[in-house]
């Protein structure tokens, strides 16, 4: 079994459409008894039924919005916790006007929010699970596209803001992704990196629709521990003489 925990990914389909993906693996019953649900412009991770006492005790870490999107601003955020909302609201407040952020500004904002939240050890998680996040802003062809992570290593050392975030835009038909754990040891272990270039890995994708991509993301994870996957895909509607309009299409794939 290869256990990497949660993963976030950002990239481009073979049609050059932006896509954000999220995957959940789980080993405990509390973690595995969850599903991804689309609620309009967002995807939430929720209990599969009534909260169990174990789930109630860790509710702040296992129940959250994994994807939030805004079609008008062509922006979406994906993450493995409640910091999804913090990043989304902060970005909309600071860069939700007529023009998107510069790429350096987007990096800085994602890094700032991740560091403020810190790893999940601050909420009682014994593995000090990293917080990971991705952001895509499709406006006007200026594409801030960021992946970020905050670990115990990042919190305990004086890292510059750029070290825990990286440009995530890939070639067509590929995504860049981050996982919470390395998958290299039986015990959950956060990744250690020395430069931003080490943060992400590349995965080629073939799906064209949001549902196809959600099912593809699901297959990227170990079948023994996979729980669910979620996707936000930007679908352009070309407008002659203007920048393309469009919408975010959301989809999920659950184990049960």
Residue 121 lies inside a defined structural domain of this protein: yes
pLDDT at 243: 63
**Residue 48, burial from CB neighbour count under 10 angstroms (0-12, 13-18, 19+):** middle
**Residue 57 covered by a domain:** yes
**Any idea of the CA torsion for 169, 171, 175, 177, to the nearest 10 degrees?**
-50
**Looking at residue 129, what DSSP letter applies?**
P
Q: Are 180 and 209 in contact (CB under 8 A)?
A: no
Number of structural domains, the chain? 1
Burial tier of 155 (Cβ tally within 10 Å: 0-12, 13-18, 19+): middle
CATH of the domain at 220: 3.60.20.20
Q: What is the pLDDT of residue 104?
A: 84
Positions in the chain whose pLDDT score sits under 70? 1, 140-143, 157-162, 170, 239-244
Whether 1 is in a domain gets the answer: no
Residue 138: the pLDDT is 85
pLDDT of residue 145: 87
Note the pLDDT tens digit of each residue in 63-97. 999 999 999 999 999 999 999 999 999 999 999 88
Radius of gyration, alpha carbons of the chain: 17
Q: Is residue 76 part of a domain?
A: yes
In this predicted structure, what is the pLDDT of residue 238? 73
- pLDDT value, residue 244: 65
Does residue 158 belong to any structural domain of this protein? yes
Domain extent at residue 94? 6-254
């Amino acid at each position: 079994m290869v256990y990497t925990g949660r993963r976030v990914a950002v990239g481009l389909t073979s049609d050059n459409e932006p896509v954000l993906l999220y995957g959940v693996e789980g080993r405990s019953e509390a973690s595995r008894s969850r599903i991804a649900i689309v609620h309009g412009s967002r995807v939430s991770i929720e209990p599969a039924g009534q909260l169990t006492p174990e789930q109630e005790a860790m509710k702040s870490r296992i129940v959250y919005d994994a994807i939030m999107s805004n079609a008008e601003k062509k922006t979406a955020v994906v993450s493995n916790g409640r910091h999804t909302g913090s990043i989304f609201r902060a970005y909309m407040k600071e860069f939700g006007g007529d023009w998107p952020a510069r790429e350096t500004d987007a990096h800085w904002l994602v890094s700032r929010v991740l560091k403020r939240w810190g790893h999940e050890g601050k909420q009682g998680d014994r593995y000090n699970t990293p917080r990971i996040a991705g952001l895509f802003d499709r406006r006007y062809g200026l594409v801030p596209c960021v992946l970020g992570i905050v670990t115990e290593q990042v919190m305990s050392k004086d890292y510059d803001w750029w070290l825990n975030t990286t440009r995530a835009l890939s070639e067509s038909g590929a995504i860049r992704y981050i996982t919470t754990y390395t998958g290299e040891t039986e015990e959950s272990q956060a990744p250690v990196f020395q430069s931003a270039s080490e943060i992400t890995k590349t995965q080629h994708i073939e799906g064209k629709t949001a549902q196809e991509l959600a099912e593809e993301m699901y297959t990227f994870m170990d079948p023994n521990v996979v729980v669910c996957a979620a996707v936000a895909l930007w679908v352009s509607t070309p407008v002659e003489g203007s920048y393309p309009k469009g919408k975010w299409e959301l989809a999920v794939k659950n184990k049960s």
